[in-house]
Chain A
Amino acid sequence: MTLAVRVIPCLDVDGGRVVKGINFENLRDAGDPVELAKVYDREGADELTFLDISASSDARGTTMEIVSKVAEEVFIPLTVGGGVRAVADVDRLLRAGADKVGVNTAAITRPELIAEIADRFGSQVLVLSVDARRAAGTASGFEVTTHGGRQSAGIDAVEWAIRAAELGAGEILLNSMDADGTRDGFDLEMLRAVRAEVSIPVIASGGAGAAEHFAPAVDAGADAVLAASVFHFGTLRIGEVKSALAGAGHPVR
């Protein structure tokens, strides 16, 4: 009995539509989130992640409706991130039908938010999203970024992961801003660096371009693997990724 490696498609949502940018620039429209969620469920996705990149509160309201629709039609875990700044935001998302929430920038600004959410809803609802990149001069060699990787947050990425786990984060979504959009594979060094220091699950994100990129991420310590554009532009199917993982000796569902 061993946990299956989770394969997680990520849908970037703006105003109710799915978009995905290369390195978070030049957004492209790639469809209806509810339909995509159903397709991913049928294809064997183990979880779904929505990242709400809406700028306006109107658009965020639309996302909430989408979350409700997906939760009513798809019976696998759903994580929603983007714009979560307070316990009340978490409450709204959970009530709309999310199982977990992703927190990113707001926790960098105010780390206590992690503890507040964990105390109220339990660690298991909280996915700390870390956008990190290589940076000379930091202790681990990796730093946390904000604004889609364009600005340094001035924090060491591994130290941040450790602190977040102590504060009560249930899981870390580790997104490599260097690898994101390159399709050259995950940043394995960064995964190993974080894995070595935290005992909560780590999701590898950023850089997936081929089926054979996923097993090395698991070997480097990832409990789950996440990708966006390769899935919804059809470069890769969920089943292909799972076959490649199984072929490398990793259990899949």
Chain B
Amino acid sequence: MAQPSVVVLDYGSGNLRSAVRAVERAGASVELTSDMDAALAADGLLVPGVGAYEACMKGLREIRGERIIGRRLSGGRPVLGICVGMQILFARGVEHGVETEGCDEWPGVVERLQAPIVPHMGWNTLDVPEGTELFAGVEDERFYFVHSYGVRTWELVTNDRTKAPLVTWAEHGGDRFVAAVENGALSATQFHPEKSGDAGAALLRNWVQSLKSA
């Protein structure tokens, strides 16, 4: 069977090399590009992101990234956000008092973590929900985080017609925040699977393998 194709969305500086290599290692053929047609055509789209929320949204808008993500999701085509690439999927971000509109795929605000030591930097355990596919086999592993902001509350609305997102939480210094989301075609992690050693590799393999059957 042919390898699934993945585009790593290039919309600014930062370490994208590791993301590209990690997804290749997970069994995909990978292209690093900001080209809309390529990003729409790939089996999977990975949205990375480091640095400030506002700067990331600005970079994303410059390559029409919101539109790329939205169009993929309306067709049920997989997207994986990582770190700030996850945060920008929420309604808005507040950093240094500056409020920035996000992609609004999910409700919620990205705000500063309320912990004695910030950034939350290092390998942490997770509270992974039943039914996870992304974490299959690595539910109890530690993953590498490096961030000062997060989604600290999420009121999950469920009814007969919609399936609630599967939300994985993590905790640092008494504060609790979203560590990962699995929501149909749209998944995301606050931590860096591409920097999380073997556990991260397993998670990326789970995602890449899901692309074949998608």
Contact = CB atoms under 8 A, between A and B. Distances in A.
A1 B117 contact: no
Interface residues of A, number: 37
Nearest to B20: A72
B119 interface: yes
Contacts of B171: 1
A75 B22 contact: yes
Of the candidates A41, A119, A122, the one having the most CB atoms from chain B within 10 angstroms of its own CB is: A122
Nearest to B95: A122
B214 to A, nearest CB: 25
A223 B170 contact: no
Contacts, number: 113
B135 interface: no
A41 B201 CA distance: 13
Interface in B5-27: 13-15, 17-18, 21-22, 25
B182 to A, nearest CB: 19
Interface of A: 1-4, 6, 41, 46, 68, 71-73, 75-77, 91, 94-100, 119-125, 170-171, 199-201, 223-224, 253
Interface residues of B, number: 39
Given A76-B195, A253-B123, A3 B172 contact: yes
Interface string B161-201: 00000000011100000000000000000001011110011
Contacts of A199: 116-118
Interface of B: 13-15, 17-18, 21-22, 25, 50-52, 55, 116-127, 142, 144, 146-148, 170-172, 192, 194-197, 200-201
A200 B118 contact: yes
A97 B142 contact: no
Q: For chain B, what secondary structure do more than half of its interface residues adopt (helix, strand, loop), or is it mixed?
A: mixed
B117 A71 contact: no
B121 A96 contact: no
16 contacts: A68-B17, A75-B21, A75-B22, A75-B194, A75-B201, A76-B195, A76-B196, A77-B192, A95-B14, A95-B15, A100-B146, A122-B148, A125-B50, A125-B51, A170-B146, A201-B121
B119 A4 contact: no
B121 A95 contact: no
A4 B118 CA distance: 15
A239 to B, nearest CB: 15
